[in-house]
Each structure stands twice: as C-alpha cells, then as structure tokens.
Structure 1
Amino acid sequence: MTSQASVSQSERPLLSVQDLKIRIQMDNGEMKAVDGVDFDIKKGKTLGLVGESGCGKSLTSRAIISINPKECETTGKIVYHSESEKALHQLDLLSLPTRSKQIRSIRGRKIAMIFQEPMTAFSPMYTIGNQIMEAILIHRTKNKKEAKKIALDMLSKVGISDQEKRFDQFPHEFSGGMRQRAMISMALSCNPELLIADEPTTALDVTIQAQVLELMKELQREFGMAILLVTHDLGIIAEMCDEVAVMYLGKIVEQSTVKEIFNNPKHPYTKGLLKSMPKLSGNRHARLESIEGTVPMAMNMPPMCGFYERCSDRIDGVCNTQAVPKTHISDNHMVRCFLYKAEGEGE
C-alpha cells in the first residue's frame, strides 16, 4: 500500500495547466491569444515551450503567476500541487485574485520567473543587492543581516565575483550577462519549486548564453526545482529540456519527450522548425530552409488549422473547414494534425 502511494506521488505533476484560454478584446474583434493549452510540469524536470514570436508562449507562462495585463481574460485551470508535512494541497492558481495575499505568497517564493530582458525587469532606482534582498525579506526572513548574507551567497552561486562591491551597484553598472545572472540569483534566492525562464538568453552573446544555460542546469541539480523554459531556439531545447511542447497560434500542436520530438517529429510545423536549424554536418554552403509566411493574427478565426496557409501537406476541404482535434499517436506523443490517427486506429 505504501509503495503504491509513493509511486503515485512521484508521478504527480508539480503543476498542471488545463484548458488555458486567454482572450483579448480588440476594437475589431476578439483575439484568441491562447486557445485551450494543456501541459504538466513534473518535479525536477524541464519542460520546453517552443514556437515563433506571437504564438502565445509568454502569455501562457505569465498566466501561471497572474502577471498578464488586465486586458487578458483568462479561463481554465492552473493546478499547483503543494506539499506540507501534514498533507498534499491542490490549488487552482487562476481562482486566486491577482493581488491576493495567497498568490503573492506563491509568486517569487514557490514559483519564480526570469524575464527576457533583465534591464527592464530590474528597477534603475535601486541597487542590485537591495532588489534581491527585497524578495528574501518578503518570503524568507525579516532579519536584514541574514537577508544580505543570503543575497551575497546567491550572487556567489551564479558566478558573480566581488559580491560585496556588486551588491551596492545599480543595474546599469552590470553587463548584460551579469544582469541576467543577477536576475537568476534573485529568482532562486527563495528556493522555488518551479522556475519559469522566459527567453532567458535572447539578449546575450553565444558565449554568455552557454554559461547561463550551464548555470541553470547546475542550480537545478542543486535545488531540485522544475523549470518551464520558454524559447524559440530548438538548440536550447535540445540541451536543456526533458519534454517539449510545440506551440503555434495559441495551441500546443505537438508534445512529447525531447528525444521523440527530434527523432520522430510529426506536425509539419515541428518539422519546419527542425529543418530551419543549422547543422554541423552537410554542405556548409547550402541555404537553411525556412517556413514560408508568418504567424497570422488569432483574430475572429473560423474553426480550422492555424497552420493551414503555411503548410505544404495541407488537405483542402479538411484542414481549412474544421477544428483540429488532439491525436495521441503513442502514450507520450500528442499531435494536433489531420495527417495522423490515434494509436490502435485502423487505416
């Protein structure tokens, strides 16, 4: 009996996003920015959310900690499974008021976020140390000496030398790579269970990018946290993630393990993304393939495949006339495409 309970507990996700929808009312209609997204984030694992700009990745990640603009009308469930010494608690984060004490106790403490551009995430009016200490004083201790010690220790963990000096400097006195490291130290200063990293290396050069990714992996091993990694870069996905959810026009169009997605992609959009990656082997003078067209606006769209206009495998009269259902082609591989049938279905 005990073993069964422990197995179910180990398989339980840390966070479950269920039928997440985000609507934005515009002057010329309703935009379905996120349209029925489902995924689980497992303890200690990394889930990659990948897709082009405008697919709804950032809105999805920010909905988890309720920091989207008030214009976003959000429905669905985001179930956070928290454990205490006495019991397991299931909490729907979307049911909490955005300014409530309960969501604020989770935001930063249990679920932390690294933003895409740390220069805009940090206030230019306060020192780096002051801003890291603020989170610690809110969530961990009221003792300022202890809070400063924790902040200095975190700056050291992320590879910032001369911490005492850096502690008293302002964001503009840090390089881009150092600001990103400081942002990571602030996010991890309260030992979160889940770290949301929204394009954490976009503004960094390749060398610093590699250092930041390695740092995130080291800190994940040390703290045992889960990571939701939001990116458009499949190279980063391959290096960092255990599972991948490919997002297009507000929907997840394919989801599986990293190995399965890279070795056995199914959706034409996923295949296009993989073909557009530069390769070390092959003809170095050959041009990279690209996906023709751009992501359309999710505005007043009829029931159809959002990738229809850009897809070379489209089926006229099918893909453009009805909503595309999810198809589970195996236990751990889901695709949203009319080209495939579920596992066990006949031809």
Structure 2
Amino acid sequence: MASQASQASIAPQAESEQPLLSVQDLKICIQMDNGEMKAVDGVDFEIKKGKTLGLVGESGCGKSLTSRAIISINPKECETTGQIVYHSTSEKTLNNLNLLSLDPRGKQIRSIRGRKIAMIFQEPMTAFSPMYTIGNQIMESILIHRTKNKKEAKKIALEMLSKVGISDQEKRFDQYPHEFSGGMRQRAMISMALSCNPELLIADEPTTALDVTIQAQVLELMKGLQKEFGMAILLVTHDLGIIAEMCDEVAVMYLGKIVEQSTVDEIFYNPKHPYTKGLLKSMPKLGTDRNKRLDSIEGTVPMAINLPPMCGFYDRCTDRIEGVCNVQAVPKTQLSDNHMVRCFLYKDKNEGE
C-alpha cells in the first residue's frame, strides 16, 4: 500500500535548485513466508532536468523495483513508502507532486505515466503485445495523451519510427512484434516511449538483449533524442561501460541501498566503496593480457530477508572491519558536496579529524 504522504507537506524549492524528480527515503517491502523482504531500503536520489542518472548494480539489488515505483507499476505485493516528488517543467498543477500519494490506478498518475514519464522496458518482446501491430501500439499512447485524431496519431507514429532509424515505416507500421528483429523491437519501444515528448525517460536495461553493434546504435540514438527533446533519463543497468558512455551522475546500488553516489568521473576515477571498486575491477580493459582472468567479487548477494543491522556487503568485502561493519547499520558519509558513500572506512566531510 503506497504511502499517503501529503502533497502539501512538500516544501517547494527555488526553480534554479529544483531537480525534475526527487526520490526520498524510498522503501519497498514484500511479505514472504519466511519474513519481510526489504527489496529497496531507504533510497535517495535526484534526477536533474536534461541530465542522465545511471542506477547500477548486480541483478536483484532493487534497481527495477525502484524505477517502476516512480510510475506506480510494481506488483500489489510491494508495500511502498517514502516520497517520489515530481517537479513538472510545463504544468504548474504537477509541480511538487508526491507520486506515491496518488492512486496507482487513478486518473492523475495515468496522465503522467506515458505522457510526462515514459519507460523503456527490459525485454521488448514481452513488453509489446503479440496480438496487435507495432503501429497500433505506438498509436495507442498518442491517442490517449496527445490527440484523438487517428490520422494525426498515425502521422506522429510514423515520424517517430523514422526518428529511431526504422526504414519503410508504412510497411513496418502494420507488422507484428514477432516480425521485428531484437534491435528493431528496441527501437520501436523507444519510439513508443518518446511519442508523447516525455520530460523523463526511464530506460530499464535497454540494451541487454542486443549485440554490441546494435547496442552502440541504440545508445547513440538515445543520446541524440535526449538532446533533441531535452528530456532527463534514468538509466538502469548492470553494465558500467554503458554508464561511462551515457551518464552524468551514477548511483551504485547493493542489497536495496545506494552505497555510493557521485558524478560519473568521480565514480570511475575515484571510487570509494569496496563494492564499486570491485565492479570496476571486473570490467575488461584494452591492452590487458588476454590469458589473464578478470577480477571478480567473491560470493553472492544475500537475500534481503530479516537482515540484522550490519553492512550488507560485509561477507564479500576484503576491507571489512570486524566488530564494526558486522554489528551496526552503515550511515551515509558525505565525502564532498557531490560524493556520498555508505562505508565505515571514511569520515564525513563535516566531522573533525
């Protein structure tokens, strides 16, 4: 059941300081037979207008649940609390609006979902209905949010197919998803997401099922369309190469928490959390011995059920401090104005020596 936090309780910020979206203390719990799973546990981040935030981490760390909570499409078993504050750039009625206070099936969230905040799903073959043509499904969103005129909606859909690099749009418009290759389905998914000129695009593993050549084309396409439409992007991925290519800021997730957050340059050139360092070491690099094995992070992500107050990365960490990391929850440490880490190895910038 979503939090019923009052919209009026959210204090407005100055326009110059205002992000497009603020996620504050987001928690998503699921009741299991053997206890409560804290799938997302106190996540905070901001997405700035026209910028790209990367949400990175291993499978099962809560990235997709976090992104889907923004548009209220998680399963009903997910008990969600916190605030997701949306600051529309075009409509004053949507400014400082806590999306979690809205009915997930109500008219107001449905006017935002697809129109103001759009999403590219992880697997386009399952995201598209096999019963309807690609054109019909792109038109549906346009008819709901932009125009009731079917001829105009079709014209917009054809223009979007052209923008994402699909040739022979008239023919492709009447084809079904199974008649598209993986790369073309992903392009069609992007065209559907952008058909209503959203302010925020959520891309959940947008290139996972694609080969590297098509992957590069899709990323370049997203960057070009972002520049053209001026939209912000939340990019959810486990691939640090994509993060380096696409993002302005990075939030590293582990076991439902953001363990490190900063600019992309700071994360890649000055990582602090042992988990972030492990992810970077596991990336292949040009010029290294082809016979040398890549570094890996030993162990697996534990289940987030009935966890004691301790660092979730403790069992896998080579820098753990016995009697500290395993006996108390790890607070946030602000290393600088734009660099946060959850680790006992560092002191907050405001603490004395």
Aligned equivalents of 1:41 and 1:75: distance in 2?
19
For the structure 1 residues 303 and 105, does the alpha-carbon distance in structure 2 shift closer, same or farther, using more than 3 Å as the test? Answer: same
Q: Using the alignment, how far apart are the partners of 2:248 and 2:92 within structure 1? A: 30
SS in 1 for 2:151: helix
* Structure 1 residue corresponding to 2:264, chosen from 258, 265, 269: 258
Look up the match of 2:29.
23
Tell me by how many angstroms 1:86 deviates.
6.0
Counterpart of 1:13? 19
Give per-residue Cα distances to partners, 1:92-130, cap 9 Å, x unaligned. 000001100000000000000000100000000000000
| Cα shift readout 1:52-89 (whole Å, capped 9, x = no counterpart) | 00100000000000000000000000000014466772
Which of 67, 74, 88 does residue 68 from structure 1 map onto?
74
Q: Could you say which residue in structure 1 is the equivalent of 2:293?
A: 287
Contact 2:86 2:94 in 1 (8 A): no
Distance 1:89 1:337, change over 3 A: same
Alpha-carbon distance, 1:344 to partner: 4.2
Query: Residues 300 and 161 (structure 1 numbering): CA distance in 2 closer, same or farther, change over 3 Å?
Result: same
Query: Where does residue 346 of structure 1 map in the other structure?
Result: 352
Q: Is the contact between residue 311 and residue 329 of structure 2 (CA under 8 Å) also seen in structure 1? A: yes
Match of 2:41 in 1: 35
Structure-2 separation of matches of 1:100 and 1:318: 46
Which among 139, 145, 159 is matched to residue 139 of structure 1?
Answer: 145
User: For 2:15, what is the secondary structure of its paired residue?
Assistant: helix
Cα distance between partner residues in 2 of 1:24 and 1:86: 35
Structure 2: gaps (5+ residues): 1-12
- 2:4 is matched with which residue? none
- The match for 1:222 among 209, 221, 228 is 228
**2:164 aligned residue (158, 162, 165):** 158
Q: Name the residue aligned to 1:47.
A: 53
Report percent identity of matched pairs: 89
The two structures have a TM-score, normalised by structure 2, of: 0.95
Q: Point out the more displaced range, 206-215 or 282-291.
A: 282-291
Tell me the alpha carbon deviations over residues 237-295 of structure 1, each in whole angstroms, 9 at most, x when there is no partner.
00000000000000000000000000000000000000000000332322100000010
Q: For residue 3 of structure 2, what is the aligned residue in structure 1?
A: none
Q: Distance in 1 between matches of 2:246 and 2:232?
A: 12
Would you say the 8 A contact 2:310–2:325 is kept in 1?
yes
After TM superposition, the structure 1 = structure 2 runs for residues 171-190 of structure 1, keeping only pairs within 5 Å, are 171-190=177-196
Partner letter of residue 108 of structure 1? G
Deviation at 1:8, TM superposition (A): 4.0
Deviation of 1:10 after TM superposition, in Å, equals 3.2
| Deviation by residue 1:295-328 (Cα, 9 ceiling, x = unmatched) | 0000000100000000000001110000000000
Letter of the 1:319 partner, please give it.
C
For residues 19-77 of structure 1, give each alpha carbon's deviation from its aligned partner in whole angstroms, at most 9, with x where no partner exists: 00000000010000000000000000000000000100000000000000000000000
Aligned to 2:306: 300
Which residue identity does 1:37 align to in structure 2? V
- Report the AA paired with residue 241 of structure 1: C
Match of 2:336 in 1: 330
Please name the residue that 2:323 is paired with. Answer: 317
Report matched runs for 1:92-171 at 5 Å: 92-171=98-177
Question: What SS class does the counterpart of residue 11 from structure 1 fall into?
Answer: coil
SS at match of 2:155: helix
Distance 2:91 2:261 in 1: 34
Larger mean CA deviation between 86-95 and 168-177 belongs to 86-95
Question: d(CA) in 2 for partners of 1:295 and 1:281?
Answer: 31
Q: Secondary structure at the match of 1:77?
A: strand
> In the aligned structure 2, how far is the partner of 1:284 from the partner of 1:127?
46
Instruction: Give me the whole-angstrom Cα distance separating, in 2, the residues matched to 1:305 and 1:207.
Output: 39
Aligned length: 341
Which residue identity lines up with residue 84 of structure 2 in the other structure? I
**What one-letter code is carried by the residue in structure 2 that aligns with 1:305?**
C
In structure 2, do the counterparts of structure 1 residues 20 and 87 end up closer, same or farther at CA, with 3 Å as the change threshold? Answer: closer
Which stretches in structure 1 are left out of the alignment for 5+ residues?
1-6
| Secondary structure, counterpart of 1:155 in structure 2 | helix
